[in-house]
Each structure stands twice: as C-alpha cells, then as structure tokens.
Amino acid sequence: MTRFLSTHDVARIVQTLGLPEVFRRMVAGLEADFLRWGEFDKSPRAAAHSKDGVIELMPIADASQYSFKYVNGHPKNHQHGLPTVMAFGVLADVATGQPSLLSELTLTTAIRTAATSVMAARHLARKDSRVMALIGNGAQSEFQALAFHHLLGIRELRIHDIDAAASARLARHLAQAAPTLAVTICTSTAEAVRGADIITTVTADKTNATILTPEMIEPGVHVNGVGGDCPGKTELHRGVLEMARMFVEYEPQSRVEGDVQQMPADFPVTELWRVLAGQARGRERSEEVTVFDSVGFALEDFSALRLLLACAEELNLGAPIALVPKMADPKNLFGQLEATDESKRRAMPSVGRAMAMQSEPSINLPSARSNGVRLKTTGLGRG
Ligand SMILES: NC(=O)c1ccc[n+]([C@@H]2O[C@H](COP(=O)([O-])OP(=O)(O)OC[C@H]3O[C@@H](n4cnc5c(N)ncnc54)[C@H](O)[C@@H]3O)[C@@H](O)[C@H]2O)c1
C-alpha cells in the first residue's frame, strides 16, 4: 500500500518533533543527498507557464528511489483565497515503480526551502552573521526566519513587505515562536537591509523586480535570493550579481529560472554541491559579497519526501491508501472491476439506495463478528 500524508500529518510531525529538530533533520538529509550528487538522474523541471503563474513538475531518481513534486507559483492567488505556492509529491521504488509515499508538500516546501537556504548560508555567509533582513513577509517567511534563528544564530531580524499586514503577521508569529529573536518592522527595503549580515529576498511578483539594487549592498553581505525562480521573475538588479560570487543549485535549471537568467550564458556560477564536497570554495574573504540564487531543485524534495517517510514511520502517522491496485493475480487487472456488494451499494444513487434499503429483508447473522445484531442485506447481489 502507499502511505498518504496530509497537511495535518506533516503539521503533526512538526508539532511532535519541534520545528528546530525538523530543520536539523532536513539540513542533514539535504547535505547527505547533495554529497551524492553524481548518483542522481537529474533534469531541469518541466514548466507550464500561463498569464498569472506556472505549474511545474520536478522529477529525480537515484538507483533505488524516484520522486517528483507538483508545484505551482501564482503570485496573485491570495485574491482567490489560495496560497501562492501549493505542492504535493510522490516517492517511489525504482525497482518496481511502486509508489511508497504520496504526501502534501506545501508546508514541506517552506521547510525544505528554508533548510536549503541555511545549508547554503553555512558556507557562504560570514560566520559572525547575527542580523538578517527579510524582504517579502508572506507564506515562506516564518520558516526562513526560524531556520536562520535556530540553526545559524541570527538574533536580529529586520523585515519589510509592501503589505503591512503581512509584516505584522510575521512579527506576531515570531514573537510567539522565537521570543529571543529581536524583530523590527521597516518601512522600506533600504531601511531593512542597512547593516544586515544576510539579506533574504522572498517576494512574489511575476515580473523582473529589483528588490535589491547595487547601492543597497554592503561589503561582506550574503544574499539569500529565494523569490526569483521563474523566467521573467527576478528580484536582484543585475548590478548586484556583477558585484557578487554566485552560487546555484543545478546550473541548467538556474540559468533559465534564477536571477542569473539576466546574465550572459558564461557568467560564472558555482553549484552548491561542489562547495559542500570541498571541490569549490564558498566564502573566501569577509568583505566579499555572495549570492545564493535559489530556485528550488528536485533533489531537495527527494530529501524532504524521504525525511517525511522516516518521520511518519517513527511517529506512526499517515494512512494507507489504495493508490494502485493490489491483486492476487497481477495480470487480472480486469478483475478489479468485479464489484463487491459493498461497492455496488456505494455506487447506487442515494434515493435508489434508500428505496432498496427499505425493501430489503432483514436477516440475523449469528456469527461472533455480527454480535447477533440484525443486519440488512443489500439485496443487490441478487440477479
Ligand atoms: N527558491 C525556492 O525554492 C522557492 C520555494 C518556495 C517559494 N519560492 C518563491 O518565494 C516567493 C515567496 O513565496 P510565498 O509562498 O511566501 O509567497 P506569498 O505570496 O505568500 O508572499 C510573498 C510576499 O511578497 C510580498 N512582496 C511582493 N512584492 C514585494 C516587494 N516589491 N517588496 C516587498 N515585498 C513584496 C507580497 O506582499 C507578499 O506578502 C515566491 O516568489 C515563490 O515562488 C521559492
């Protein structure tokens, strides 16, 4: 059977283990998988673009497991009462193709994205980083703030959003979730980023935005650019990229989707896995500017799905679902259509069912299972 994890199940995992512990496990899983980079069958995600958004499929596999994520990005979705980003995904066994897990990935995407940001910042930000600016205070923002607070030692957060209510909500949540994190709401991006060690941009707008411009960038800062993740959807002025060393997840995808899409094809970038593996250098000098041009890569969701499955097994969460048929004779697929009495009863229109129930004779089943209760036969098996 396939295990199904709902958003409630993933919330239970976080409530039981605590968000800091989930972040720690997530970063550990990501690091382990990024260090096995060569073992994965990788490809850029397949994107279906439309006027207001994008729907993407993100597949990846190693020799034993395959995963994909379905994810959208619709920055105007709040007008319809929907989140900008929604996702779900599957983990499957390569040897047989049997899906082992079907899970929500909306909450999980926020967790894995923040964990990936922290994994990058450990190598790219100055070790003495304590102040972070967080521009864009929507659905992803609490997760970014808390991951950097708990795992990287950020003590002061300076937040800004063009929507004042979003900043107020973020500040309220952080006051409860991280009372020792000092949070200041700023009236502009320029005010928020002044003096920050790390700048996280996580805005949503389907345009080539310029959230950060070169005059805002101080020596030694690390930019964690999360919101520029689609063709024609960027956050950083190209002048910021020209003054920085750029790090990406998977170069073939980032060249198309990341902020680096603004630059010539030979503009130098370093894939993050090479830094983790010691094949390339992360931050070299305290005054250099670094940019992690995050777009979200399928390997991060592969790691996340594996972590979810491990946590669900540990905490006994989720439900078995009949996503694929279970057959005594695997060649007898047609036999799946031989309805049981119960499925025939369910398939009946409700009015017809009520009438059938009224006309059914009662029988008394004397077995222990029925406890002698008078049951009605469906009467549907006749003829
Ligand atoms: N890199 C990744 O792996 C990854 C993963 C998830 C989401 N994302 C991206 O992160 C972004 C944020 O996602 P979300 O779920 O938080 O979206 P959201 O819509 O919930 O929040 C986005 C916030 O950005 C604010 N904003 C828009 N333009 C702004 C500007 N010019 N200055 C300041 N604030 C501005 C909006 O008011 C909103 O509050 C999206 O672009 C999404 O595609 C990237």
Nearest ligand 1 atom to the CA of 73 is: 43
Nearest ligand 1 atom to the CA of 78 is: 19
Q: Which of 49, 83, 51, 46 is nearest to 204 (CA)?
A: 83
Residue type, 92: A
- Mutation test of ligand 1: which of 226, 237, 256, 259 has the most ligand atoms closer than 8 Å to its C-beta? 226
Closest-CA residue, ligand 1 atom 11, reads 227
Ligand 1 residue neighbourhood (C-beta within 6 Å):
73, 75, 84-85, 109, 113, 135-141, 160-163, 166, 202-205, 209, 211, 226-227, 229, 294-296
d(CA 226, CA 84): 14
Residue 276 Cα to ligand 1 middle (Å): 27
Residues with Cβ within 8 Å of 328's Cβ and at least 6 positions away in sequence, in order, are: none
Per-residue confidence band for 355, with pLDDT thresholds at 50, 70 and 90: very low
**What is the structure's pLDDT at 327?**
93
Residues with Cβ within 8 Å of 62's Cβ and at least 6 positions away in sequence, in order, are: 36, 39, 40, 41, 94, 302
d(CA 170, CA 145): 9
What letters, b where the CB count within 10 A reaches 16 and e where it falls short, cover 34-52? beebeebebebbebeeeee
3.40.120.10, 1.10.150.390, 3.40.50.720, 3.40.50.2300: CATH of 125-296: 3.40.50.720
Nearest ligand 1 atom to the CA of 209 is: 31
Tens of pLDDT, residues 161-201: 999 999 999 999 999 999 999 999 999 999 999 999 999 99
To the nearest whole number, what is the mean pLDDT of the chain? 91
Strand 290-293 versus strand 99-104 pairing type: unpaired
- Mutation test of ligand 1: which of 111, 135, 203 has the most ligand atoms closer than 8 Å to its C-beta? 203
- Asked whether the whole model's pTM tops 0.75, one would answer yes
Nearest ligand 1 atom to the CA of 233 is: 41
Tell me the mean pLDDT in the region 2-23: 98
Find the range with the poorest average confidence among 165-169, 203-207, 342-346: 342-346
Domains of the chain: which residue ranges?
2-107+301-321, 125-296, 336-378
Residue 227 Cα to ligand 1 middle (Å): 5
Residue 314 Cα to ligand 1 middle (Å): 33
Tens of pLDDT, residues 76-135: 999 999 999 999 999 999 999 999 999 999 999 999 999 999 999 999 999 999 999 999
Tens of pLDDT, residues 53-84: 999 999 999 999 999 999 999 999 999 999 99
SS3 content of the chain, % helix, strand, coil (to 5): 40, 25, 40
Instruction: Give catalytic residue positions.
Output: 229
Residues with Cβ within 8 Å of 19's Cβ and at least 6 positions away in sequence, in order, are: 111, 146, 150, 177
**What is the structure's pLDDT at 343?**
65
Which CATH architecture group holds 2-107+301-321?
2-Layer Sandwich (3.30)
d(CA 130, CA 197): 7
**What is the structure's pLDDT at 359?**
36
Tens of pLDDT, residues 257-302: 999 999 999 999 999 999 999 999 999 999 999 999 999 999 999 9
Residue 355 Cα to ligand 1 middle (Å): 54
- Mutation test of ligand 1: which of 76, 140, 261 has the most ligand atoms closer than 8 Å to its C-beta? 140
Residue 216 Cα to ligand 1 middle (Å): 20
